[in-house]
Amino acid sequence: MTIVLFVVGLVFLIAGAEALVRGACRLAAAIGISPLVIGLTVVAFGTSAPELAVSVKSALSDQASIAVGNVVGSNIFNVLFILGVSALIVPLVVSSQLIRIDVPFMLALSVFVLLLALDGGFSRIDGIILFVGLLAYITVLIYLSRRESAAVKQEFAQEYGIAPTAKVGWLKDTALIVIGLILLVTGSRWFVDSAVAFAQYLGVSELIVGLTIVAAGTSMPEVVTSIIAALRGERDIAVGNVVGSNIFNLMGVLGIASIIAPSGIAVSPEFVRFDIPVMILVALACVPIFLTGGVISRQEGFVLLAYYVAYTVYLVLVATSNQALTWFGPLMLYGAIPLTFVTMLALTVRELRRKKSAKS
């Protein structure tokens, strides 16, 4: 029965996010919002609706580990898995200047979240700061979107530019939003309750479940949106969805969950020392890619995907107290990760020098 509730809850979350995004996109277009802004805010944030629903439910149920693990785990999953798979399908050549601005912002925001967590958790004040920051971010994004290139605007217009023109359209889209919210609320309750039952049955912490099963499950809308966009050649949408979702997860999901949690969200020292730094490293890995012209090659996509597999293996080894931790952890920490960053740094420097020579 637990497995059935888990699967049905996940289906409700995905279907609810899809209905919410469709209805919200069309209503936003109907009132004159730019398709570019719709793509980078409404869609990116709408696909994070399952994370929001699950984290809010967890925070209200005093299951803080799932709430915060869901946010951090989803951000890691979004970059390593979704961008990795999307780049394997087709190299992602990103032309949107906004996305290049958003990537350093995502990195700075990840570091800021670490600083907030150093005192052992996220208080209501921390949540308010994050949520107010989200409102400011949206305002700046709308302003900067006016200066975006015509090619990028056209790409987003083709995908999101359909607006309802009749009264029936408004009613239909409003109904989609309501149905989406109902599915999200119901699905989140079943999904979280099942995840807690899995953690108890497997004898692992709720944090591990939040970082893996829950994070991957709530990120399914981002998976679908980004992969379909990559297949269609809409590369800015594929990347913008991931980056925008990560920013919303940190400022919106974590912010709202911290505000409504009865006593804030406590985090363990291990989470602060390992999982949040991994999220920062993942965000840092994106910066050189976009500095070299906004290109994510198939080789880089493979590296991102390989690191997600390695991260998941590490969490499983920790959860099971496997003896392989004695060599796997040091191998990743002192071998694979430094080697990858040195290689990426060298490629970045070479590409920047090539661009400088081409201009001169």
pLDDT of residue 32: 67
Average pLDDT of the residues in 268-282: 87
Instruction: Kindly report the pTM of this predicted structure.
Output: 0.81
pLDDT of residue 168: 55
pLDDT at 138 over 80: yes
pLDDT of residue 289: 66
pLDDT at 165 over 60: no
pLDDT of residue 98: 64
pLDDT of residue 129: 96
Where residue 40 sits, what CATH number does that domain have? 1.20.1420.30
- Structural domain for 261, as ranges: 2-359
pLDDT at 27 over 60: yes
Report the domain count for the chain: 1
Average pLDDT of the residues in 226-234: 75
81 vs 220, residue with greater confidence: 81
Average pLDDT of the residues in 229-253: 81
348: confidence class by pLDDT, cuts 50, 70, 90:
low
pLDDT at 179 over 70: yes
Average pLDDT of the residues in 110-138: 93
pLDDT of residue 135: 93
pLDDT at 108 over 70: yes
pLDDT of residue 347: 64
Residue 42 in contact with residue 28, Cβ under 8 Å? yes
